[in-house]
Amino acid sequence: MSTSTPRIPGTYVFDTADNRRGRALNRLCGSLKDAGNRARFSADEDAYCEAYGLTAEQREAVLSRDWTRMLELGGSIFYVFKLAVLDQKSMQYLGGVFTGMTTEEFTQALKAGGRSFG
């Protein structure tokens, strides 16, 4: 008999990574690690969202860079962060919110492959 840890309401930041409703959103954000995809996304964000099959709510969250809403709609923090990296202002915001680091510390941690977080 195995015991499992019950999910605690409100922990969506980490729990929705495996949530099916966020799959399209996570695929879109994950695709942005490729320079060609980043260029296509920058050229026409709405069409790029359409191509990935985002719901209207997910599309609105992506286009308005509403990070909290993206997480609530099933996005994984690790994938949503790939979108934030495209924008320096967003990266600074997320760096401060999620790590408590200064922008410089956060940038150094990214360059180190994320091993310096915490």
Average pLDDT for runs of 10 along the chain of length 118? 51 47 87 88 92 92 87 83 73 65 72 56
C-alpha atoms less than 13 angstroms from C-alpha of 90 in its C-beta half-sphere? 15
Model confidence over 67-94: pLDDT tens digits?
888 888 888 877 887 787 777 666 666 6
Q: Give the mean pLDDT of the chain.
A: 75
pLDDT score of 59 = 94
% of the chain residues with pLDDT over 70: 64
Q: What CA–CA distance (Å, rounded) separates 82 from 60?
A: 17
Question: pTM (2 decimals)?
Answer: 0.60
The residues, any chain, with a CB within 8 Å of residue 41's CB and separated by 6 or more, are 31, 32, 48, 86
The residues, any chain, with a CB within 8 Å of residue 40's CB and separated by 6 or more, are 48
